[in-house]
Amino acid sequence: MTDNIQHSNMASSTSSKKLEISVIIPVFNGGSSFKSCLSNLEFTMPPPCEIIVVSDGDTDDSWLVAQQFGAKVLRLTTCNGPAKARNTGAQAAKGDILFFIDADVTVYPDIIERVEKIFIDKPELAAIIGSYDDVPGEPNFLSQYKNLFHHYTHQTSSDEAFTFWGACGAIRRDVFFTVGGFDESYRRPSIEDIELGYRLKKAGYKIRLCKDLQVKHLKHWSPIGLLKAEFFYRALPWVELILRDGAKNDLNLGIKSRLSVIAVYTLTIALIASLWLHQFLILAFGLSLLLLALNLPVYRFFSEKRGFWFALCVIPWHWFYYLYGGLAVILGTLHHLWHQNRFFKPNIINPPNTSL
* 302-322 confidence digits (pLDDT tens): 999 999 999 999 999 999 999
Q: Is residue 250 part of a domain?
A: no
Distance CA 202, CA 41 (A): 33
Q: Is residue 272 part of a domain?
A: yes
Q: Is residue 52 part of a domain?
A: yes
Q: Are the C-beta atoms of 227 and 324 separated by less than 8 Å?
A: yes
- Per-residue pLDDT at 143: 97
Q: Which residues of 254-286 are buried (b: 16+ CB within 10 A; e: fewer)?
A: eeebeebbebbbbbeebeeeeeeeeebeebbee
Residue ranges, the chain, pLDDT below 70: 1-16, 246-253, 340-356
CA 327 to chain CA centroid, nearest Å:
19
Q: Is residue 42 part of a domain?
A: yes
Which tens digit of pLDDT belongs to each residue from 233-269?
A: 988 888 888 887 765 555 556 788 889 999 999 999 9
**Where does a domain end: 173, 196, 221?**
221
**∠ at Cα 61 (75, 139), nearest 5°?**
115
Regarding whether 268 and 332 lie in a shared domain, the answer is yes
Name the domain count of the chain.
Answer: 2
Regarding whether 193 and 262 lie in a shared domain, the answer is no
Regarding whether 61 and 105 lie in a shared domain, the answer is yes
**Where does a domain end: 197, 221, 245?**
221
Regarding whether 171 and 64 lie in a shared domain, the answer is yes
The DSSP element (H or E) to which 171 belongs, if any, is strand 168-172
- Which residues lie below 8 Å from residue 61, measured CB to CB, with a gap of 6+? none
**Where does a domain end: 195, 221, 247?**
221
Regarding whether 217 and 106 lie in a shared domain, the answer is yes
CA 302 to chain CA centroid, nearest Å:
21
Q: Is residue 240 part of a domain?
A: no
**∠ at Cα 118 (251, 211), nearest 5°?**
30
Regarding whether 277 and 174 lie in a shared domain, the answer is no
Q: Is residue 245 part of a domain?
A: no
Regarding whether 326 and 185 lie in a shared domain, the answer is no
Output the domain CATH number for residue 36: 3.90.550.10
Q: Is residue 142 part of a domain?
A: yes
Regarding whether 93 and 35 lie in a shared domain, the answer is yes
Structural domain including 188 reads: 2-221
DSSP annotation of 52 reads: E
- Per-residue pLDDT at 348: 35
Regarding whether 130 and 17 lie in a shared domain, the answer is yes
pTM (predicted TM-score): 0.88
Regarding whether 194 and 294 lie in a shared domain, the answer is no
Q: Is residue 241 part of a domain?
A: no
Regarding whether 16 and 118 lie in a shared domain, the answer is yes
Regarding whether 308 and 215 lie in a shared domain, the answer is no
